[in-house]
């Protein structure tokens, strides 16, 4: 296997790891904090209701924005590192 | 000046702006017109994507559903934003690298099969037509109020306007027009919300006002709202849901549907670079979030305002007399979207939750059933009137609502007509068709689509945002899994992909039709659409997520039983994974 091919494989593995990490955060914010774990977080009060309600109506959206920008920034760095940028 | 004239002025001015920009951009240079998508900065592209994306469902309908459902309907907020995370990481950069222009193009090439391409076209058309039904429902509400006519008449007028808007076509492709539409839309949504937030909470930013104190009572706004709705027999606004499985599946269905909708994906084909596709998804989400962070505030404040209009002295005191009802109730009564029936003949409007659990209390108060039925789709449009805001704010929201409904409906009609004329007729049935013939086929299919959508929009299978949610379920079950497997697996072959798409599509459609009527024709449902009848408590709106799982499972199973895809297809998959240089890597 040539170096270039190996390089490309490492790049793809790094991308998959990054995606997996981001998806874990994505799921924790929305399905976790906002829905499934809401009863566990009910002790934390925020503006007349609990943290789970805030995550469901606002928090998860803010997390999504941070995630997409974080992914774009990391991937563009990765493109450079592996010399795969356009 | 009457409210009607002011509405006309705002709607007219906003349309003049869109046409003006379209004309200016077209006149500037022909070249600019063609590369509009290619030369546009990711921020502007994100704004245009947001305008394309936010339809009648987001603008007109969503806050009304959240107001009625409270916490349980937060699914719409998470579902319609979380999909962009999937889009940015799982689809957009790779489809951009692939470099073709339509979703059936990618599926046809990746699965080296005309059948796969045809199935993808069918999925796209079914999802888009369902989506248009939802848009027409919303556009009908906006037109009926704005022209002060009955809802069905409003829907017919909307159909004619949308048809001409879509035939004018070219406008749609111009990114700058969409940027202007976004600006109108977001201003129209935000300004009334700011006013109302100031009235209720003394807080300038609605998203913060939602979690602030209610000025009048001094207690947190959400607590106040919980207290008011509880007095009238409704569930607490912030109450947790019992069926978490359904809530999770519904959110998931909306998220993967977002990433599978062809008219959203297509925007990422036209950015200059793969890196820009990633940034564009982020910017689109920022601009969408501006509306989505305001929507829950609009929802809770509108619910509170509505109930304090009906019960001026609090929910435990007497309600208002019908003769003294405010003008907005009269206005919406003419559209047929607010209905009043004086069941206990006391001349007052009693609005409460008519359930067995609350019956004893209702009887004690001399009530004989809920008397006011308010269509949930009117809440956002009626919101400024309910809060007694100046008439220019009401005109503004009419302009914004129409912009949202028309731009998305027209965009979808274009997507449907190009799928039929380009992908189906030219691509498969008759490759020798003339340009004139292709254009004719496009117009005919647009016409048929709008007639079908208008007919079904008169008795829609749900409120605008719910119908649109069905379209997302269909896209989630059919298109998203095929695209994702096409990028992330080299092993899935044409037989697997076709079987998967068909299994996902058919299972989801059958489940939806069983409860909402076959082909959405009113009165043909096999079972009543109630939680008791649902399989494991999964609503038809949530089934798209199950359909997607079925799609993945069938595709992997069939692929593992049949041959590997050819070498050149595996190389193609390899090449879409790398922004550049991948081509060289394959040549080694």
Structure tokens of B358? 């609350």
Segment B67-96 mean pLDDT = 92
Q: What are phi and psi of B444, to 5 degrees?
A: -60, -45
CB spacing of A57 vs B223 below 8 angstroms: no
Structure confidence at residue B35 as a pLDDT band (50, 70, 90):
very low
Q: Are B431 and B395 in contact (CB under 8 A)?
A: no
pLDDT digits (tens, 9 = 90+) for B384-404: 888 888 888 888 888 888 888
Cβ <8 Å between B285 and A65: yes
Task: Spell out which residues of chain A touch residue B213, defining contact as CB-CB under 8 Å.
Answer: 48
Chain A residues inside the 8 Å CB shell of B210: 47, 57-58
Helices B391-418 and B175-201 cross at an angle (nearest 10°) of 140
Q: Place B587 in a pLDDT band, splitting at 50, 70 and 90.
A: very low
Is A76 in Cβ contact with B275 (below 8 Å)?
A: yes
- Which of A15, A64, A86 minimises the CB distance to B81? A64
Is the confidence at residue B265, as pLDDT, over 60? yes
Q: How far apart are CA B359 and CA B353, in angstroms?
A: 9
Of B66, B581, B583, B587, which to mutate for an interface test with A (greatest number of A Cβ within 10 Å)? B581
Summarize the confidence of residues B28-39 as an average pLDDT: 43
**Nearest-by-CA chain B residue for A54:** B211
How much is the average pLDDT of B535-562? 93
Taking CB atoms and an 8 Å limit, are A5 and B585 in contact across chains? yes
Mean pLDDT of B45-60: 84
Alpha carbon separation from B583 to A47, B530, B572 (Å, rounded)? 54, 54, 9
In chain A, the residue whose alpha carbon lies closest to the alpha carbon of B89 is A19
Please write the tens of the pLDDT for every residue from B237-255.
999 998 899 999 999 999 9
B77/A68 touch (CB, cutoff 8 Å), yes or no: no
pLDDT in tens, B135-189: 888 888 888 888 888 888 888 988 888 887 777 654 445 677 778 888 988 999 9
Confidence of residue B60 (pLDDT cuts 50, 70, 90): confident
- Residue A56, chain B, CB below 8 Å: the answer is yes
- How far CA A43 is from CA of A39, A47, A49, B77, B382, in Å, comes to 8, 13, 10, 23, 36
* CA separation, residue B181 to residues B14, B17, B135 (Å): 8, 9, 16
pLDDT, position B83: 93
pLDDT over 50 at B586, yes or no: no
* Domains located in chain B, CATH noted: 3-103+110-306+389-464 (1.20.1730.10), 308-383 (no CATH)
What tens digit of pLDDT does each residue of B269-326 get? 767 788 888 888 899 999 999 999 999 999 999 999 999 999 998 898 889 999 989 8
Specify the pLDDT at position B173: 52
Q: How far is CA B432 from the centre of its chain?
A: 37
Q: Give the pLDDT score at B505.
A: 95
In this predicted structure, the answer to whether residue B365 has a pLDDT above a threshold of 50 is: yes
**Res A82 pLDDT > 90:** no
Chains A and B form CB pairs within 8 A to the count of 148
Cβ-contact B235, B227 below 8 angstroms? no
Give contacts of B71 with chain A, Cβ < 8 Å.
Answer: 53, 56-57
Confidence of residue A3 (pLDDT cuts 50, 70, 90): low
pLDDT at B582 over 50: no
pLDDT at B357 over 50: yes
Q: Give the pLDDT confidence score for residue B135 in this predicted structure.
A: 85
- Which structure tokens are listed for B156? 């017919």
Spatial CA neighbour of B166 closest among B513, B409, B343: B409
What's the CA gap between B446 and B413, in Å, rounded?
6
* Residue A10 sits at the chain B interface (C-beta within 8 Å): no
pTM assigned to the model:
0.90
Question: What mean pLDDT value characterizes chain B?
Answer: 85
* Residue B257 pLDDT > 80: yes
State how far residue B80 is from chain A, nearest Cα, in angstroms. Answer: 9
The pLDDT value given to residue B39? 58
CB contact under 8 A, A56 and B74: yes
Yes or no, beta carbons of A30 and B82 under 8 Å apart:
yes
Q: B156, B141, B47: which is closest to B397 by C-alpha?
A: B141
pLDDT at B190: 93
- When mean pLDDT is compared across B299-313, B326-340, B492-506, the lowest value belongs to B326-340
Q: Where are the domains of chain A?
A: 21-81
pLDDT of residue B169: 54
Task: Kindly tell me the burial class for residue B586, based on how many C-beta atoms sit within 10 Å of its own C-beta (0-12, 13-18, 19 or more).
Answer: middle
Question: Residue B59: is it exposed, middle or buried by C-beta count within 10 angstroms (0-12/13-18/19+)?
Answer: buried
Task: Write out pLDDT tens, residues B468-484.
Answer: 888 999 999 999 999 99
- Collect all residues of chain B within an 8 Å Cβ-Cβ radius of residue A61: 77-78, 81, 289, 292-293
Q: Which of B62, B73, B88, B542 to mutate to test the interface with A (most CBs of A within 10 A)?
A: B88
Q: Is A83 exposed, middle or buried (0-12, 13-18, 19+ CB in 10 A)?
A: exposed
Q: How far apart are CA B550 and CA B565, in angstroms?
A: 21
Is B273's CB within 8 Å of A86's CB? yes
CA distances from B111 to B291, B451, B478, B503 (A): 38, 34, 15, 17
Q: What is the pLDDT of residue B501?
A: 95
Which pLDDT score is estimated for A48?
83
Chain B positions touching A20 (Cβ under 8 A) are none
Residue A45: φ, ψ to 5°:
-95, 145
Tens-place pLDDT, residues B399-412: 888 888 877 787 78
- Nearest Cα of chain B lies from the Cα of A17 at a distance, in angstroms, of 11
pLDDT over 90 at B229, yes or no: yes
Query: Contact B265/B103 with Cβ under 8 angstroms?
Result: yes
User: What is the pLDDT, as a whole number, of residue B84?
Assistant: 92
Q: Does B581 contact A46 at a Cβ distance shorter than 8 Å?
A: no
What's the CA gap between B409 and B588, in Å, rounded? 48
Contacts of A65 in chain B (CB under 8 A): 282, 285-286, 289
Asked whether the predicted pLDDT for residue A45 surpasses 60, the reply is yes
Per-residue pLDDT band for B534 (boundaries 50, 70, 90) equals confident
Residue of B nearest to A47 (CA): B211
**Which one of A56, A63, A80, A85 makes the best mutation probe of the B interface by having the most chain B beta carbons within 10 Å?**
A56
ipTM: 0.94
- According to DSSP H, which parts of B311-378 are helical? 327-335, 356-364
Positive or negative, the CA dihedral A70, A74, A76, A77 is: positive
Count Cβ atoms within 10 A of the Cβ of residue B263 and give its class: 0-12 exposed, 13-18 middle, 19 or more buried.
buried
Tally the C-alpha atoms within 13 A of residue B115's C-alpha that lie toward its C-beta.
10
Residue of chain B nearest A69, judged by CA positions: B282
Please give the pLDDT value at position B289: 95
Residue A28 predicted with pLDDT over 80: yes
Cβ of A48 and B219 within 8 Å? Answer: yes
Q: Is A2 on the interface with B (CB under 8 A)?
A: yes
Check if A27 contacts B (Cβ < 8 Å): no
Q: Is the pLDDT of residue A57 over 80?
A: yes
Q: Does A36 touch chain B (CB under 8 A)?
A: yes
Answer whether A71 sits within 8 Å of B278, measured CB to CB. Answer: yes
Euclidean distance between CA atoms B489 and B496, whole angstroms: 12
Q: Please give the share of chain B, as a percent, with pLDDT higher than 70.
A: 94
Candidates A4, A56, A75; nearest CB to B585: A4
Closest-CA distance, A24 to chain B, in angstroms, reads 12
Q: Residue B92 has what DSSP assignment? A: H
pLDDT tens digits, B403-437: 888 777 877 887 788 788 877 887 777 778 777 78
Give the phi and the psi of residue B110 in degrees, each rounded to 5: -65, -35
CA distance linking residue B435 with residue B433, whole number of Å: 7
Element (H, E) at B372: strand B372-374
A77 touches chain B (CB under 8 A): no
Residue B392 near residue B155 (C-beta atoms within 8 A)? no
Q: A-chain residues within 8 Å CB-CB of B304?
A: none
Once rounded to an integer, what is the mean pLDDT over residues B208-218? Answer: 90
Mean pLDDT of B26-47: 57
Of the residues A31, A48, A59, A73, the best mutation for testing chain B's interface (the one with the most B CB atoms within 10 Å of its CB) is: A48
Q: What is the pLDDT of residue B275?
A: 85
**Nearest CB to A83; choose among B71, B220, B581:** B581
Q: What residues in B contact A60, CB-CB < 8 Å?
A: 77-78, 81-82
**Interchain contact, B211 vs A49, CB within 8 Å:** yes
Please indicate whether, in this complex, the C-beta atoms of A69 and B282 are within 8 angstroms of each other.
Answer: yes
């Amino acid at each position: 296997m040539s170096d270039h091919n190996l390089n490309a494989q490492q790049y793809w593995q790094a991308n998959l790891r990054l995606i997996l990490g981001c998806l874990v955060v994505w799921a924790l914010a929305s399905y976790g904090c906002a829905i499934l774990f809401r009863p566990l977080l009910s002790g934390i009060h925020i503006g007349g209701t609990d943290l789970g309600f805030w995550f469901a109506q606002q928090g998860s959206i803010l997390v999504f924005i941070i995630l997409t920008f974080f992914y774009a920034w990391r991937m563009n760095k990765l493109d450079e590192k592996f010399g795969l940028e356009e | 000046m009457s409210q009607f004239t002011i509405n006309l002025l705002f709607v007219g001015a906003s349309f003049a702006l869109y046409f003006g920009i379209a004309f200016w951009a077209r006149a500037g240079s022909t070249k600019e017109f063609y590369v509009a998508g290619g030369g546009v900065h990711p921020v502007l592209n994100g704004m245009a994507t947001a305008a394309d994306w936010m339809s009648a469902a987001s603008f007109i309908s969503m806050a009304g559903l959240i107001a009625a459902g409270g916490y349980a309907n937060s699914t719409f907020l998470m579902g319609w934003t979380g999909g962009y995370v999937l889009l940015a990481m799982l689809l957009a950069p790779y489809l951009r690298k692939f470099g073709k222009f339509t979703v059936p193009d990618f599926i046809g090439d990746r699965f080296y099969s005309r059948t796969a391409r045809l199935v993808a076209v069918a999925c796209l058309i079914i999802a888009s037509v369902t989506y248009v039904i939802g848009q027409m429902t919303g556009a009908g509400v906006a037109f009926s109020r704005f022209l002060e006519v009955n809802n069905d008449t409003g829907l017919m007028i909307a159909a004619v306007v949308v048809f001409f808007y879509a035939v004018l076509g070219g406008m749609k492709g111009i990114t700058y027009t969409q940027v202007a539409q976004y600006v109108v839309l977001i201003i129209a949504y935000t300004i009334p919300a700011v006013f109302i937030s100031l009235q209720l909470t003394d807080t300038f930013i609605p998203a913060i006002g939602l979690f602030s104190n209610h000025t009048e009572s001094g207690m947190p706004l959400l607590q106040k709202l919980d207290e008011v709705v509880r007095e009238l027999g409704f569930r607490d606004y912030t109450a947790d849901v019992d069926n978490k499985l359904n809530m999770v599946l519904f959110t998931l269905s909306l998220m993967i549907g977002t990433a599978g909708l062809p008219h959203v994906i297509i925007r990422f084909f036209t950015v200059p670079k793969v890196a820009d596709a990633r940034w564009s998804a982020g910017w689109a989400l920022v601009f969408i979030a501006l509306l989505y962070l305001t929507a829950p505030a609009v929802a809770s404040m509108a619910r509170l305002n509505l109930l304090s209009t009906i019960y001026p002295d609090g929910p435990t005191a007497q309600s208002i007399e019908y003769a003294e009802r405010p003008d907005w109730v009269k206005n919406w009564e003419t559209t047929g979207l607010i209905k009043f029936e004086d069941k206990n003949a006391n001349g007052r409007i009693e609005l409460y939750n008519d359930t067995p659990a609350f019956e004893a209390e209702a009887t004690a108060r001399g009530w004989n059933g809920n008397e006011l039925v308010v269509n949930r789709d009117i809440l956002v449009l009626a919101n400024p009137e309910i809060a007694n805001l100046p008439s220019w704010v009401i005109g503004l929201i009419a302009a914004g609502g129409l912009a949202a409904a028309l731009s998305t409906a027209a965009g979808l009609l274009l997507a449907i007509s190009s799928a039929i004329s380009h992908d189906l007729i030219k691509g498969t049935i008759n490759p020798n068709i003339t340009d004139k013939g292709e254009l004719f086929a496009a117009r005919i299919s647009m016409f048929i689509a709008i007639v079908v959508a208008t007919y079904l929009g008169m008795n829609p299978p749900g409120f605008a945002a719910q119908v649109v949610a069905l379209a997302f379920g269909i896209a989630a079950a059919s298109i998203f899994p095929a695209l994702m497997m096409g990028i992330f697996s080299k092993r899935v072959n044409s037989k697997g992909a076709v079987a998967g798409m068909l299994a996902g599509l058919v299972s989801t459609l059958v489940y939806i039709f069983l409860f909402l009527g076959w082909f959405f024709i009113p009165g043909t449902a096999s079972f009543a659409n109630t939680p008791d009848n649902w399989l494991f408590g999964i609503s038809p709106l949530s089934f798209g997520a199950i359909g997607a799982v079925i799609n993945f499972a069938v595709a992997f199973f069939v692929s593992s039983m049949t041959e590997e895809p050819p070498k050149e297809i595996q190389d193609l998959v390899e090449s879409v994974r790398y922004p550049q240089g991948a081509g060289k890597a394959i040549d080694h």
